[in-house]
Amino acid sequence: MSVVDLDGRSLSLEAIEAIAVGGAHVRVTPQAQARVAQARAFVDERFASGEAIYGVTTGFGRLANVPVAAADAGLLQLNLVRSHAAGTGAPLGEELVRAAGVLRASSLAAGHSGIKPETLALLVELLNRGVTPVVPCQGSVGASGDLAPLAHMTLVLIGEGEAFFRGERMPGAQALRLAGLVPIELGAKEGLALVNGTEVMAGIAALSVLRAQRLADAADVIGAMSLEAFLGTDRVFDRRINALRPHAGQAYVADRLRELLADSQIMQSHRECGRVQDPYSFRCIPVVHGAVRDALAYARTTIQIEAISVTDNPLVFPEDGVFLSGGNFHGEPVALACDFMKIAASELASISERRLYLLLNAEDRGLPLFLTGRSGLQSGLMIVQYTSAALVNDNKGLAWPSSVDSIATSAGQEDHVSMGMTSANNLVRLLDNVEGALACELLGALVATDLRRPLRSGRGTGAAHACGRERIAPWTQDRVPAPDIEAARALIASGALVRAAASTGTANEEWNEE
């Protein structure tokens, strides 16, 4: 996608990624521009009438009943943005902030927030010209949306705060100037419209669910490689078995592993070995990986709905002549989806570490201890498994569902909060760990497969092994494994490993269960 049209009604997760990661340009449709202009005219009309409107002629939160003079409307919005920019911690990655910006622009383009058309235009141009606000990762409780993170984003629109531009961190005003942009002056309701919403946690979730699904794809390929090298049985992938527990994910994974292992001489070599069953981390790959996929499908559906939602407050309905206050800004749907993704994805790492452990301790399957022929003098991949175990341990804390906690804020006005931003932040870290654990298993699978030569691997597993060996040299003697782990990470993150396996005709349809 080189250009993505925002109409405020439809926005795919892939389009968000195309803009946030791929640099596709954003264009607001004429219909959306007309709705934004209509809503703004309604706000101006009602503001001029002197009517008491939350956040327009009143204070915010617990101060909702405190009137504010019409002459101070602009200052009220400016004070809101400045006072709410109370974030702390390391800056969010630029791609995550850009994803939030896409969602914010899409929500505003729906025409129910009452901002000026030029405000939306500037937000879009930040995306198109590569001006990315510096947004601290901590400070949101996910109640009235992501108040602090969105306030930091909004600071750049008014020529304050900080931004990344062309690889440098600088004052927001300087970034705007270098990009040929001019800051806006906030009008009635605009500050509230810009800081109210779930877009930061939802932006992180949007990119994360796509990443998690790709990690699930990689886990299938790597799991198949490990099972093959372990001399495990593929009978557990039989359609008849998996049809009796008809979860969609389980059936998909079983089909996929059968195809990855098709025509494998390694698998054929031990058909009559007499072993009946393998450990669960091999035998239950369809069940575990499949359950992860089903969980990710639920999360994807939730985040897709969030991507086309309006989470501002109050909402403007010019066609009905009303402002309506509600709770669309509460982050519970996103928080629960992020927590579910954390729990599910952590299982990919957990079962992966067990498979690696078994590969390194498979003398009964004809593999040398730690996959080295000179045990004692050499340690082989012993410590690679330690690394995987450490990542899995870290995930146990990160996977704890943040949404089960709530700490009242705003003098009790916001008495139940989602903590969705904490869930989203931990999800990013957890997926990094999953990628690392899968990379460690991939190293083990490559070395163990080398030890099975000259027997040929399956169509898909063989192509994946060849792809791995193009980037990672065979393990003939002890060396520093850290660069190999990073190279394996790159194969997983780039999708090269999965594409190689798919190039042989194995199942490669995108999994989203929509």
Name which of 178, 126, 461, 8 is nearest 118 in CA terms: 126
The answer to whether 134 touches 125, Cβ cutoff 8 Å, is no
Phi, psi of 5 (to 5 degrees): -85, 130
Taking the C-alpha atoms of residue 267 and residue 335, their distance in angstroms, rounded to an integer, is: 43
- DSSP letter (8 states) at residue 347: H
The single-letter code of the amino acid at 148 is A
Residue 65, H or E segment: none
What are residue 196's phi and psi, to 5 degrees?
Answer: -95, 125
Residue 346 — φ and ψ, nearest 5°?
-60, -30
Q: In 3-state terms, what secondary structure has residue 225?
A: helix
Q: Which of 54, 280, 298, 386 is catalytic?
A: 54
| Exposed/middle/buried for residue 48 (C-beta within 10 Å: 0-12, 13-18, 19+) | exposed
Does 54 qualify as catalytic in the annotation?
yes
Rounded-to-integer distance, Cα 217 and Cα 438, Å: 11
Q: Two tokens at 480?
A: 């520093």
Query: Strands, DSSP E only, in 291-425?
Result: 315-317, 322-324
Q: Which of 268, 198, 184 is nearest to 228 (CA)?
A: 268
Structure tokens at 205: 């979730």
Residues marked as catalytic:
54
